[in-house]
């Protein structure tokens, strides 16, 4: 016969001794605290602040046995402090854009490590430029940070999402400053790529796609000051070129500097001697865009003396941005026409940013590389840039 009499179910509860030294959170939740300091396992698991109680004996809430503190990386703190107090102001004469680098870019770096490392690499280059006694130390820090940042960025660059495109565009823009500020040797060429980090020319070639991705996403972007400044300078170049053309057609004295005549002459020679129509078009476009850049320089420094108000550093890179996809690969291959055209850009670079630390010496370095890459015939094409840069009397 089956016994249907109800039976009491006895649950064997695991007994644990109570503690008065556990953390406040575990006590409130009525769970056992493992009392590990400075944060117990439960608080770590639930990502909450762990606050230990005071014991009956009045011991402090801190553990009686000192723990080994995590060492602060004083080098990185120094670099970040330098960037937010000094370096940021050297990256742009535009106050809104300078504040963007000081605040928004740093805040972005707190979310994305590769952005923070890029900022630190620029700061290290800045310190290396000014502190000659520790130059090699800061140069080493700069290269280390940027190599690590570039590895992460290049992994994302293959197929970025719209949200990743924002960070990659910022990385590309910042990498320009690093490339200009990092150590260079005579066998290195700004447009060909530097050893130790990805060719930033490749990054520039990809920025148009990144920009389109950011704009097409239709979302508000923290990069708005950077993108808007570039757009403003693009409009200023077009307006300056239109103004120059009006002055020239009206016969206004000084409306057209000599550089435009020399660039027109090179364009004429290319039309006569280059049989490939596609290449003629690429070179013509590069010259036309360079004419616009010099028109901006004419407007701020009509005498071409370099003593007037400087144009924005962005103006230099608007030209590079405009010709990145088709002209820069020809420059990388060192075609004679491309190198000759680029020689004129070195004059613009020297005049437009001669007082900025990251551009110091670059114009002279680049005109020397152009001269070395050209044959005797094409060296005659760049006589004007050579004279402007002080290479000939």
pLDDT tens digits, one per residue of 12-58? 555 555 556 678 878 877 888 888 776 788 877 776 667 766 444 44
Q: Is the dihedral of CA 361, 362, 364, 365 positive or negative?
A: positive
Cβ neighbours of residue 307 under 8 Å, at least 6 residues apart? Answer: 301
| Separation CA 88–CA 96 (nearest Å) | 11
Mean pLDDT of the chain: 78
Q: Kindly report the pTM of this predicted structure.
A: 0.71
Q: Is the dihedral of CA 36, 41, 46, 47 positive or negative?
A: positive
Please tell me whether the peptide bond between 38 and the residue prior to it is cis, using omega within 30 degrees of 0: yes
pLDDT tens digits, one per residue of 312-334? 667 777 888 888 889 988 988 88
């Amino acid at each position: 016969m089956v016994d249907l009499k109800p039976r009491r179910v006895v649950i064997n509860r695991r007994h644990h001794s109570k503690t008065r030294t556990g953390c406040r959170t575990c006590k409130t939740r009525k769970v056992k605290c493992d009392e590990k300091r400075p944060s117990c396992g439960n608080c770590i698991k639930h990502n909450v602040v762990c606050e230990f109680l005071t014991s009956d004996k009045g011991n402090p809430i801190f553990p009686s046995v000192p723990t080994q503190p995590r060492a602060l990386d004083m080098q990185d703190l120094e670099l970040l402090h330098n960037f937010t107090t000094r370096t940021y102001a050297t990256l742009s004469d535009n106050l809104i854009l300078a504040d963007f680098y000081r605040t928004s870019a740093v805040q972005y770096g707190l979310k994305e490590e590769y952005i923070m490392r890029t900022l630190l690499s620029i700061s290290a280059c800045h310190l290396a430029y000014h502190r000659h006694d520790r130059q090699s130390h800061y140069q080493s820090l700069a290269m280390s940070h940027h190599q690590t940042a570039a590895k992460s960025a290049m992994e994302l660059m293959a197929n970025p999402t719209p949200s990743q495109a924002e960070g990659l565009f910022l990385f590309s823009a910042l990498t320009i400053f690093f490339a200009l500020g990092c150590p260079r040797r005579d066998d290195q060429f700004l447009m060909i790529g530097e050893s130790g980090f990805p060719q930033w020319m490749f990054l520039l070639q990809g920025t148009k796609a990144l920009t389109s991705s950011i704009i097409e996403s239709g979302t508000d972007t923290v990069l708005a000051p950077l993108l808007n400044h570039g757009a403003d300078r693009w409009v200023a170049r077009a307006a300056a070129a239109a103004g120059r053309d009006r002055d020239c057609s009206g016969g206004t004295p000084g409306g057209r500097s000599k550089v435009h005549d020399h660039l027109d002459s090179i364009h004429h020679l290319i039309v006569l001697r280059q049989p490939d129509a596609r290449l003629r078009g690429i070179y013509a476009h590069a010259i036309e865009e360079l004419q616009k850049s010099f028109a901006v320089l004419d407007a701020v420094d009509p005498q071409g003396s370099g003593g007037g108000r400087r144009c924005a550093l962005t103006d230099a890179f608007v030209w590079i941005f405009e010709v990145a996809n088709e002209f820069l690969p020809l420059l990388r291959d060192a075609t004679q026409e491309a190198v000759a055209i680029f020689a004129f850009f070195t004059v613009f670079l020297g005049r437009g940013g001669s007082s900025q630390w990251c551009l110091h010496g670059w114009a002279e370095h680049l005109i020397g590389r152009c001269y070395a890459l050209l044959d005797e015939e094409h060296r005659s094409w760049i006589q004007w840039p050579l004279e402007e840069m002080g290479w000939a009397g």
